[in-house]
Amino acid sequence: MSLGGNSSPQSRWKQVEALLGTKLPSLPETSDMSPLTDTSWVDDYVQQMLKKAMPKSGMLRGIKTIHGIKTNTEIFETHHYVIIKFKLPQPSNPIVKARADRVTIEDKPLLKKQSVKLPCLVVPRSSKASYKNGILQIKMRKRKVDQTAYDVYVRYL
């Protein structure tokens, strides 16, 4: 299957879809994509592809309200780590407490407390936190799941 030749962009787009085995977002009309003057369609296309490709739990982002305080929180998952980023007011001296399923951040002088449920279980003692330019980042190692199956004794009554 050749992608070159004198075929239209739409037919080449269909060839790429056939090659990948998946439906891609629609290609803008030729009149809408002047490559030298307007490249905004590329950004829209990339955003659509990222939304389609990113797993739902891969990254959670949003503004949460906890005790009437708006917080900007991001949660990322990699293969081995969960990373949380909090946007905190400056100056801040947070106290971070980690459990296997939850992270709590306290700011004693301001009496603010934020708690975030984690997307998976972690090893709390592996947690490392850093604070820079109003961003608190916490990195925690994921807990390994034991895949070993054990025999369970059945008692007959």
Q: What would the pLDDT profile of 35-91 be if each residue is shown by its tens digit?
A: 556 667 677 777 777 766 665 544 444 444 444 445 578 898 999 999 999 888 777
What are the tokens at 62?
């949003």
* pLDDT at residue 8, as a whole number: 72
The answer to whether position 48 is within a domain reads no
The answer to whether position 94 is within a domain reads yes
How far apart CA 129 and CA 152 sit, in angstroms, is: 41
b/e for 79-100, b at 16 or more Cβ within 10 A?
A: eeebebebebeeeeebebebee
Is the bond leading into 91 cis (omega within 30 degrees of zero)?
yes
- CA nearest 63: which of 74, 55, 77? 74
Q: Say if residues 115 and 67 touch (Cβ distance below 8 Å).
A: no
Domain harbouring 125, CATH code: 2.60.40.790
The answer to whether position 6 is within a domain reads no
134: left (phi over 0), alpha (psi -120 to 50) or beta: left
Beta-bridge partner residues of 59: 76
The answer to whether position 8 is within a domain reads no
Residue recorded with tokens 């900007």: 72
* Whether pTM exceeds 0.75: no
Q: What is the mean pLDDT of the chain?
A: 76
Beta-bridge partner residues of 66: 69
The answer to whether position 84 is within a domain reads yes
Residues 6+ away with beta carbon under 8 Å from 42: none
Q: How confident is the model at residue 92 (pLDDT cuts 50, 70, 90)?
A: confident
Q: Which domain holds residue 122?
A: 73-142
* pLDDT at residue 89, as a whole number: 75
In order of 6, 25, 62, 147, the CA distances from 115 in angstroms are 58, 38, 14, 30
Beta-bridge partner residues of 106: 95, 113
10 φ/ψ angles, rounded to the nearest 5 degrees: -65, -40
Residue recorded with tokens 């990948």: 20
Please count the structural domains in the chain: 1
